Amino acid sequence: MMRWGHQDPAAGQRRGCGAQGLWDMGGAWWHGGGDRARLGPRCPSGEVPTARRVTGPPPRWSPPAVPSLWCPQFSALALKLGLLCYGGQLVALGTISTGDLVTFLIYQMQFTEAVEVLLRYYPNMTKAVGSSEKIFEFLDQEEQVTPAGTLAPDVVRGHLQLEDVWFSYPEHQEPVLKGVSLELRPGEVLAVVAPPGAGKSTLVSLVLRLRPPGAGRVLLDGHPLPAYQHRNLRCQVAAVPQEPVLFSRSLHANIAYGPGTWSRAQVTVAARRAGAHAFVTRLPQGYDTEVGELGVQLSGGQRQAVAIARALVRDPRVLVLDEPTSALDTDSQLQVGGDTRVPFVTCPLGPWVPLAPSPGVPWVCL
């Protein structure tokens, strides 16, 4: 696969200038200072006059834009006239026939149209080429977790154990987790509350087997996590991260995303348990409402509620919630706390809402 990595630095600077200008303009209008906003000093020197003006009607005529607008049209017209005149002379001299001239002009028009299409899409291609570098970096990453096992039980009790677990990141010599041991039986409640940076999210990644422990073992129903098949482990263990990720699809598709196929009734039940059904029913299209890229059409609390519903619809035996209700209001937190079966939760240091587990399903607030 060929990699494209070259981008015009000036084009990137101009795009950054435009984005910063729009941001400053929005802030200026928000604070009532639109007439006094000055965007020029943040842009390249050649673009200062066009960036300083925030309000007022646009100019009727912009001379600097005339060459970029008309020169390609005049050049194409001049080329066609030149070819026609020169071809007419060759026909008059008998060098070529009239049919040859017409054929050449037709081919020339088709070739010109193809070149125009390529030039029209070239700027978009350069933008995509720059963005594709992140994709290639992700594809080139080596697998850090050992191969999956063969264990695939139909039913998991949810008995979670951590035995003398140590973990440190490659870029830091100091261990993040030092000899962590805990046991979570079905039906038990365990709360571990810690300040930011204490390793709560790291512990979550170990339970999800996103990272292997440096020392010690993580057991589920008495078996090490590497003994389970990846797909089976993902069906039994669900997670809601601190920053929920939604896709540019409908609310139903976002909640039903993942392994398995879920009906509208199952999605609705999960949304009720997560406290999302109330605001979904107030939307014009209900569960068919498009949320936009990364869920920009929803508030932070609504995105968290949808992410919790996505995890609950699978009815997992181990549910990992990494500070799941930080953006929810009090009523939504109480609703989630009264209905959700949560075996494993992370919470920041401070007040937190206990989530009531159902019989036989353990949970911990970390």
Q: What H or E segment, with its residue span, contains residue 224?
A: strand 223-224
Question: Is 318 in a helix, a strand, or coil?
Answer: strand
φ, ψ at 218 (rounded to 5°): -115, 120
d(CA 136, CA 126): 16
pLDDT tens across the length of the chain (366 residues): 444 434 444 444 444 444 444 334 333 333 334 343 333 444 444 443 444 444 444 444 444 444 555 566 777 778 778 888 888 888 888 888 888 888 888 888 888 888 888 888 888 888 888 788 888 888 887 766 667 788 888 888 888 889 999 998 887 878 888 888 888 887 666 666 778 778 888 888 888 888 888 899 999 888 888 888 888 888 888 888 878 888 888 999 989 887 778 889 999 998 998 888 888 999 888 999 898 888 888 888 888 889 889 888 888 888 887 765 555 555 555 555 554 444 444 444 333 333 334 444 444 444
Burial (CB < 10 A; 0-12, 13-18, 19+), residue 19, is: exposed
Task: Output b/e per residue, 49-64; b: 16+ Cβ within 10 A.
Answer: eebeebeeeeeeeeee
Residues in the chain: 366
pLDDT of residue 176: 87
Distances (CA, A) of 229 to 152, 182, 361: 6, 24, 22
Displacement of CA 267 from its chain's centroid (Å) = 22
- Predicted structure pTM score: 0.56
At 114 the three-state DSSP class reads helix
The DSSP secondary-structure symbol of 363 reads E
Residue 62: predicted pLDDT = 47
